[in-house]
């Protein structure tokens, strides 16, 4: 009996005001991260033209940017206690997510074709066949977590965390493009990894501070995203994936 009372006291009740502020802040952080990462390609400053190279990349950038804006609107609707609007609007967002996945794959194929055509030495130091799995794996993480968020839509606390990690899974594309060299960073790859891991840990820190425990959805989504992110390059370097990427090259001309 006493143990049960102690366990109940150790679980802090959810402060909805603080929770709304956290998720709205994360949505704004995502937008800021993307604007900084793609400032020279999709969102140029001043009169500098965007370095967009093909229709699929233009469409890919537009749809993903729209998704981020809608994600922010969804958090704003919850903050304004417009739950009914949030639910209705959410159906459109899930429909948009269904478009984003094949579009992301097509964008990966387009990037692979363009980079492979330049020939070695590769600018990034990675064979584009190896690196192509990074974009594809991003779509695997995003689609899996968005599907889980849809399944748990009647469980708000799990739903919002899974949706948050679905967006987080794509943030490495932006953080990898931050102006690291302009900032004088030496070990760029290490900093890229550290920043991405920090982003993944923010919901974990929030759960510990607000709930005094890690929500089960966070406990599932955080390691899932981290592990798949870490195995992208090793798997991409395998002969099996190179065979797949060669098929992608033949398909996308």
The pLDDT of residue 7 is 46
The pLDDT of residue 5 is 43
Question: What does the pLDDT look like over 97-130, one tens digit per residue?
Answer: 999 999 999 999 988 888 887 777 766 667 889 9
- Buried residues in 101-128 as b, exposed as e (16+ CB within 10 A): bebbbbbbbbbbbebbeeeeeeeeeebb
Question: What does the pLDDT look like over 11-67, one tens digit per residue?
Answer: 566 777 888 899 999 999 999 999 998 887 776 655 445 556 678 888 888 899 999
Residue 241 near residue 105, CB atoms below 8 Å? no
> Could you tell me which residues come within 8 angstroms of residue 38 by beta carbon, excluding any fewer than 6 positions away?
61, 174, 177
Range scoring the smallest mean pLDDT among 1-5, 42-46, 125-129, 201-205: 1-5
Residue 211 has pLDDT above 50, yes or no: yes
Residue 74 has pLDDT above 80, yes or no: yes
Residue 217 has pLDDT above 90, yes or no: yes
Of 171, 195, 191, the closest CA to residue 180 belongs to 191
Q: How far is CA 127 from CA 113, 191, 239, 248, in A?
A: 12, 22, 12, 14
Residue 141 near residue 224, CB atoms below 8 Å? yes
**Whether the model pTM is above 0.75:** yes
């Amino acid at each position: 009996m006493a143990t049960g009372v102690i366990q109940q006291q150790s679980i802090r009740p959810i402060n909805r005001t603080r929770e709304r502020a956290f998720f709205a802040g994360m949505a704004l952080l995502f937008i800021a991260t993307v604007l900084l990462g793609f400032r020279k390609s999709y969102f140029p400053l001043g009169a500098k033209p965007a370095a967009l190279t093909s229709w699929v990349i233009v469409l890919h950038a537009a749809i993903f940017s729209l998704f981020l804006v809608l994600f922010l609107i969804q958090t704003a609707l919850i903050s304004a206690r417009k739950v009914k609007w949030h639910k209705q609007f959410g159906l459109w967002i899930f429909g948009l997510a269904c478009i984003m996945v094949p579009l992301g794959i097509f964008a990966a194929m387009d990037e692979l074709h363009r980079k492979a055509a330049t020939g070695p030495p590769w600018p990034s130091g990675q064979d584009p066949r190896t690196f192509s799995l990074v974009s594809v794996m991003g779509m695997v993480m995003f689609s899996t977590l968005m599907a889980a968020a849809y399944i748990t839509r009647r469980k708000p606390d799990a739903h919002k965390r899974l949706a948050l990690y679905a967006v987080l899974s794509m943030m490495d594309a932006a953080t990898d493009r931050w102006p690291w060299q302009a900032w004088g960073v030496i070990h760029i790859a290490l900093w890229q990894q550290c920043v991405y891991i920090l982003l993944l840990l923010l919901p974990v820190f929030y759960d510990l501070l607000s709930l005094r425990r890690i929500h089960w959805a966070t406990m599932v989504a955080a390691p899932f995203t981290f592990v798949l992110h870490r195995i992208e390059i090793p798997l991409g370097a395998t002969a099996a994936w190179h065979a797949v990427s060669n098929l992608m090259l033949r398909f996308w001309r």
